[in-house]
């Protein structure tokens, strides 16, 4: 009997860090299912070049947690199960909290936190059926360091780290590991709104002297998903060139 290819779900895989994680999982031999609101040159190319049982992309708004749950069920039917979840999709909400409309905070929380919980819930059910699985949540260094102007975003990321620790306890005996990665500042669209001056300040304060790249973080995620990391669960691992040391 031929073994089915391991399947990874990556939220927000159209660009930035999600794109690097999709590339890395494919290179590591996984089939990959991903979603974002809009397709990109990257997802269009993969859909042209790879068979449907190796790469799947759907247009989906992570703010809709019911849609996220049905996405996982469709992926399980198409790929025969799910082995890996990388909760990557996220939006940055910038501005002083006192002037930020609560409806914007609520939408960000649905994308950054509730959808990650919905994905973890749906994937954990599938992983429990096969007796193994691996979840990585993409947090941020702002979950452990105060930064003015991103209070609600920081709260969403600190909540993800809490999810990681408690879920690791719930799922460990089922053979499922759960970890968080905390990137520093990456050179992606998410940070495009930051001023040159602010980015230079970050680089000055970073011992390794540069911003992070998506590949820096995708490498850590690939390690956490690998058998090399088989005794690591419930941890939050910082990948920031030393910014927070
Ligand atoms: P990015 O370049 O803006 O990419 C975000 C990805 O998420 C895109 O694929 C985007 O596609 C998708 N996405 C956003 N909102 C969505 C929604 N409502 N529904 C479905 N998909 C959605 O951001 P990034 O820098 O790669 O960030 C990835 C993760 O790393 C995020 O969780 C972020 O918080 C975290 N992080 C980033 C940094 C940084 O400095 N960049 C630092 C620490 C942590 P669409 O827009 O088409 O939906």
pLDDT tens digits along 1-49: 567 899 999 999 999 999 999 999 999 999 999 999 999 999 999 999 9
pLDDT attached to residue 132: 98
Is 185 annotated as catalytic? no
Using DSSP's 3-state secondary structure scheme, residue 30 falls into coil
pLDDT attached to residue 219: 98
Alpha helices, H only, the chain? 16-27, 41-49, 65-79, 102-109, 115-130, 151-171, 196-205, 214-225
The single residue of 57, 71, 79, 153 carrying the catalytic annotation is: 153
Tokens representing 214 are 């998506």
Looking at the CA of residue 15, tell me the nearest atom of ligand 1: 9
pLDDT attached to residue 2: 63
Ligand 1 midpoint to CA 77 (Å): 26
Domains of the chain, residue spans: 7-238
pLDDT attached to residue 1: 55
Other C-beta atoms lying within 10 Å of the C-beta of residue 102: 9
Ligand 1 midpoint to CA 74 (Å): 23
pLDDT band for position 172 (cuts 50, 70, 90): very high
Nearest Cα residue to atom 31 of ligand 1 = 90
pLDDT band for position 193 (cuts 50, 70, 90): confident
Mean pLDDT of the chain: 97
Tell me the CA distances in angstroms from 135 to 44, 148, 228, one per residue in order.
26, 30, 15
Q: What is the CATH number of domain 7-238?
A: 3.40.50.720
Tell me which residues have their CB closer than 6 angstroms to ligand 1.
12, 14-18, 35-38, 60-63, 88-91, 111, 138, 140, 183, 185-186, 188-191
């Amino acid at each position: 009997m031929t073994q089915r290819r391991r399947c990874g779900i990556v939220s927000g895989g159209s660009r930035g860090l999600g794109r690097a994680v999709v590339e890395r999982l494919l290179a590591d031999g996984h089939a990959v299912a991903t979603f974002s609101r809009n397709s990109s040159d990257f997802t269009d190319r993969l859909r042209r070049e790879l068979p449907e049982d190796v790469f799947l992309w759907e247009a989906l708004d992570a703010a809709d947690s019911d849609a996220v749950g049905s996405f996982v069920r469709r992926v399980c039917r198409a790929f025969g199960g799910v082995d890996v979840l990388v909760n990557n999709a996220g939006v940055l909400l910038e501005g002083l909290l006192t002037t930020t409309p609560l409806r914007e905070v609520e939408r960000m929380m649905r994308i950054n936190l509730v959808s990650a919980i919905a994905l973890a819930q749906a994937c954990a059910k599938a992983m429990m059926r096969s007796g193994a699985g691996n979840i990585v949540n993409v947090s941020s260094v702002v979950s452990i360091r105060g930064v003015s102007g991103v209070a609600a975003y920081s709260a969403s990321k600190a909540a993800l780290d809490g999810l990681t620790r408690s879920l690791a306890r719930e799922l460990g005996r089922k053979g499922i590991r759960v970890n968080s990665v905390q990137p520093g500042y990456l050179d992606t669209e998410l940070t495009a709104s930051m001023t040159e001056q602010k980015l230079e300040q970050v680089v000055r304060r970073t011992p390794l002297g540069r911003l992070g790249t998506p590949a820096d973080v995708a490498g850590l995620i690939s390690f956490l998903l690998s058998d090399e990391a088989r005794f690591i669960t419930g941890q939050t691992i910082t990948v920031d060139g030393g910014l927070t040391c």
